[in-house]
C-alpha cells in the first residue's frame, strides 16, 4: 500500500494504473486490482476522530461507534475496486452534502460544547471534497470504459431502536432511475435474501423499508452519471453487539463470503443486460 496525494490517486486512475493506497491525510483508502464496471464502497467504515476535536466533542467514543458502520470495508475487501472512509462520520459525513456534512447534533444528541470555528470546519470539509474528487474520477473511468456501471454502496444499521421487525438487508431506491434499473434491484434483493449466515441468522431483504436511499453518495453519482446504478445496501447489525461494542468476526466473514459470490454474479448479470 502506498500513501498518495489526491492528485496522484486521480492521475493513476486516469492512466488506468492498478494500485492500493491511503490518502496522504489518512482519510480514506482505495484499492484497484483491475478496472471493472463496478465499484464497492464503505463510506461509513471509518472510526478515526482527530484529536483536536476530542475536548470539544460531547459524544463518547462508544456513541460515535454506535452510529458508524464498522467492518463494512472488511465485507467487500476482496472486490477489485474498493474505496472506504477512515474518518468517523462524526467529523464529517461522506453521505451528506458539504453544506450538511458537519453535525451540530446527531440522533437527538448535541455534538459540540462549542460550535466549530471556520478553520476546523474547513479542514474537515476539504477531506470531504477530496474524497468526492476521487469518487468522480472512479465513476468517470467506469463510464468511459463501459458506458454503464454499478456501485455497491455498503452500510449497516442499528436494529434495536426499531419497535418492529426489520429486514436483514435493505436497499434504498427512491433516488435511482427505477424505470431503467428497478428490475435489476429486485435481482439484487433476491440474492441478498438467499444468503446463508451462521447462528441461524435469517437473511431476508426488502426495498425502501428502513431506509430509502437518500444519501449524498448515491445522489452525487446518480446525478452526474446517469448510467451508473448505485445499490445503497444496508445490513442490519447482526454481525455485532451494538449495545456492548463487540464485533462477531465469524459473522463478518460469512457476510464477506456471501458477498464475494453474490457481487460477482450480480455484476456479470448487469454487464450482460446493460453493457454487452
Rg (CA), the chain: 18
Q: What pLDDT is attached to residue 39?
A: 99
Q: Are 13 and 32 in contact (CB under 8 A)?
A: yes
Measured distance CA(229)–CA(267) in Å, rounded: 11
Report pLDDT digits (tens) over 18-36. 999 999 999 999 999 999 9
Domain covering 2-274, topology: Aminopeptidase (3.40.630)
- In the three-class reduction of DSSP (H, G, I as helix; E, B as strand; rest coil), residue 108 is classed as coil
DSSP assignment of 42-57 equals ETT---B--GGGTTTB
pLDDT band at 11 (very low <50, low <70, confident <90, very high): very high
Q: What pLDDT is attached to residue 102?
A: 97
User: In this structure, is the dihedral angle defined by the CA atoms of residues 89, 127, 234 and 252, taken in order, positive or negative?
Assistant: negative
Query: Kind and range of the H or E element at 229?
Result: strand 228-236
- Residues 202-225: what's their mean pLDDT? 98
Report pLDDT digits (tens) over 42-84. 999 999 999 999 999 999 999 999 999 999 999 999 999 999 9
Domain ranges of the chain: 2-274
pLDDT band at 237 (very low <50, low <70, confident <90, very high): very high
Give the three cell numbers for residue 36. 471493472
Tell which residue, 18, 79, 74, 82, has the closest CA to residue 264. Answer: 79
- Residues 226-255: what's their mean pLDDT? 98
pTM over 0.85: yes
Report pLDDT digits (tens) over 168-192. 999 999 999 999 999 999 999 999 9
Amino acid at each position: 500500500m502506498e500513501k498518495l496525494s489526491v492528485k496522484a490517486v486521480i492521475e493513476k486512475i486516469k492512466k488506468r494504473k492498478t494500485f492500493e493506497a491511503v490518502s496522504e491525510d489518512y482519510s480514506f483508502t482505495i484499492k484497484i486490482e483491475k478496472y471493472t464496471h463496478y465499484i464497492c464502497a464503505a463510506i461509513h467504515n471509518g472510526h478515526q476522530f482527530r484529536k483536536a476535536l476530542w475536548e470539544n466533542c460531547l459524544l463518547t467514543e462508544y456513541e460515535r461507534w454506535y452510529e458508524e458502520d464498522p467492518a463494512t470495508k472488511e465485507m467487500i475487501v476482496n472486490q477489485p475496486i474498493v474505496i472506504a472512509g477512515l474518518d468517523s462520520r462524526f467529523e464529517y459525513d461522506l453521505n451528506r452534502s458539504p453544506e450538511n456534512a458537519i453535525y451540530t447534533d446527531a440522533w437527538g444528541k448535541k455534538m459540540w460544547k462549542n460550535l466549530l470555528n471556520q478553520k476546523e470546519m474547513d479542514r474537515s470539509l476539504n477531506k470531504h471534497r477530496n474524497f468526492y474528487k476521487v469518487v468522480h474520477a472512479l465513476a468517470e473511468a467506469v463510464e468511459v470504459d463501459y458506458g454503464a456501471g454499478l456501485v455497491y454502496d455498503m452500510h449497516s444499521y442499528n436494529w434495536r431502536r426499531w419497535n418492529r421487525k426489520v429486514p436483514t438487508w435493505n436497499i434504498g431506491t427512491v433516488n435511482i432511475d427505477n424505470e431503467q434499473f428497478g428490475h435489476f434491484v429486485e435481482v439484487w434483493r433476491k440474492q441478498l435474501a438467499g444468503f446463508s449466515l451462521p447462528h441461524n441468522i435469517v437473511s431476508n431483504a426488502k426495498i425502501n423499508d428502513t431506509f430509502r436511499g437518500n444519501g449524498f453518495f448515491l445522489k452525487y453519482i446518480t446525478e452526474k452519471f446517469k448510467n451508473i446504478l448505485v445499490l445503497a445496501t444496508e445490513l442490519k447489525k447482526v454481525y455485532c453487539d451494538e449495545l456492548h461494542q463487540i464485533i462477531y468476526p465469524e459473522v463478518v466473514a460469512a457476510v464477506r463470503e456471501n458477498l464475494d459470490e453474490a457481487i460477482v454474479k450480480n455484476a456479470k448479470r448487469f454487464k450482460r443486460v446493460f453493457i454487452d
